[in-house]
Structure 1
Amino acid sequence: MSLLCKKALHRCQLTWLLLAAAAAAMLLIRLVRRRRRRPKPRQGKLRVAFAHPDLGIGGAERLVVDAALGLRGRGHDVTIYTARHDPRRCFDETRDGTLRVVVAGDWLPKRILGRCYALCASVRMVAVALRAARDGPDVVVVDQVATAVPVARAACAAPVVFYCHYPDKLLCVNRQNPLTRLYRAPLDWGEETCTGLADVVLVNSRFTAGVFRRAFPRLAVAPEVLYPPLSLDAEVAEAPRDAALLLSINRFERKKNLGLAVEALALLPPRVRLVLAGGYDPDLPENVEHARELEELAARLGVADRVTQRRSVSGDEKARLLARCACLLYTPENEHFGIVPLEAMHARTPVVAVDSGGPRESVVDGVTGRLLAPDPQTWARAVADLLGDAAGRRAMGERGRERVRDLFSLDAFADRLERICVGVLTRR
Structure 2
Amino acid sequence: MAKKTASKMNIAIIHPDLGIGGAERLVASHGHKVHIFTAHHDKNRCFEETISGTYCIRCFPTSAHFLPSSCFMCIYTVVFYCHFLEHTNFLRRLFRKPIDLVEETAGKLSYTLKPLVPGGFDKRLRENVEYLEELKNLAEKEGVSKQVTFIMSCSTSERNVLLSQCLCVLYTPKDEHFGIVPLEAMAAQKPVIGCNSGGPVETIKNGVTGYLCDPNPREFSMSMAKFIQDPQMAERMGIEARRHVIESFSTKIFGQRLSQYLVDVTQNKID
Q: TM above 0.5, one fold?
A: yes
- Asked if the contact 2:12–2:37 (Cα under 8 Å) also holds between the matched residues in 1, the reply is yes
Counterpart pick for 2:58 among 80, 102, 125: 102
Q: Secondary structure at the match of 1:159?
A: coil
Q: What corresponds to 1:172 in structure 2?
A: 87
Q: What residue in structure 1 maps to residue 117 of structure 2?
A: 276
After superposition, what is the alpha-carbon deviation per residue over 1:65-96, rounded to whole angstroms, capped at 9, x for unaligned? x22xx2x2x32111111110001101111112
Answer yes or no: is 1:160 the counterpart of 2:94. no
Q: What is the SS of the residue equivalent to 1:344?
A: helix
Change (3 A) 1:326 1:214: closer
Aligned to 2:252: 411
Percentage of pairs with the same residue: 41
**Structure 2 residue corresponding to 1:87, chosen from 43, 67, 90:** 43
CA distance in 2, matches of 1:184, 1:400: 34
Q: Which residue of the partner structure matches residue 365 of structure 1? A: 206
- The 4+ residue runs of structure 1 with deviation greater than 6 A are none
Partner of 1:21: none
Check conservation: 2:120, 2:153, Cα contact below 8 A.
yes
Equivalent pair of 2:248/2:254 in contact (CA under 8 Å): no
The DSSP-based 3-state class of the residue aligned with 1:86 is coil
Name 2:169's counterpart in structure 1: 328
Residue in structure 1 matched with residue 159 of structure 2 by the alignment = 318
Q: Give the equivalent residue in structure 2 for 1:426.
A: 267
On the 8 A contact 1:51/1:81 being kept in 2, the answer is: yes
Does residue 50 in structure 1 map to residue 6 in structure 2?
A: no
Amino acid at match of 1:296: N
User: Given residue 18 of structure 2, which amino acid in structure 1 is its aligned partner?
Assistant: L
* CA RMSD in angstroms, aligned pairs only: 2.8
Larger gyration radius, structure 1 or structure 2: 1
- Cα-to-partner distance string for 1:313-364 (whole Å, 9 max, x where unaligned): 1111111111111110111111111111111111111111111111111111
Report if aligned partners of 1:256, 1:331 keep a CA contact under 8 Å in 2: no
Give deviations 1:237-275, integer Å, cap 9, x for gaps: xxxxxxxxxxxxxxxxx748344x5xxxxxxxxxxxxx5
Q: Deviations over 1:352-411 (max 9, x none)?
A: 111111111111111111111122122222212211212101100000001101111222
Per-residue deviation, 1:42? 4.7
* Alpha-carbon separation, structure 1, partners of 2:36 and 2:24: 11
Does structure 1 residue 295 correspond to structure 2 residue 213? no
> 2:190 is paired with a residue of what secondary structure?
coil
* Runs of 5+ unmatched residues, structure 1: 1-39, 108-123, 137-153, 175-179, 193-207, 216-253, 262-274
The gaps in structure 2 that reach 5 residues or longer are: none
Number of residue equivalences: 264
Report the counterpart of residue 102 of structure 2 in structure 1.
212
Distance 1:57 1:256 in 2: 22
Matched position secondary structure for 2:118: strand
Summarize the Cα distance change of 1:157–1:376 in structure 2 as closer, same or farther, 3 Å threshold. same
Q: Aligned equivalents of 1:281 and 1:95: distance in 2?
A: 18
Choose from 225, 235, 241 the match for 1:400: 241
Q: How has the CA–CA distance of structure 1 residues 364 and 103 changed in structure 2, closer, same or farther, with 3 Å as cutoff?
A: same
* Structure 2 CA distance for aligned equivalents of residues 408 and 184 of structure 1: 29
* Aligned ranges 1:242-257 → 2 under 5 Å: 255=110, 257=112
CA distance in 1, matches of 2:112, 2:13: 30
TM-score (norm 2): 0.86
Q: In 1, Cα distance between the equivalents of 2:194 and 2:92? A: 32
AA aligned to 2:20 is I
Alignment CA distance shift 1:256-1:346 (3 Å): farther
Corresponding residue for residue 242 of structure 1: none
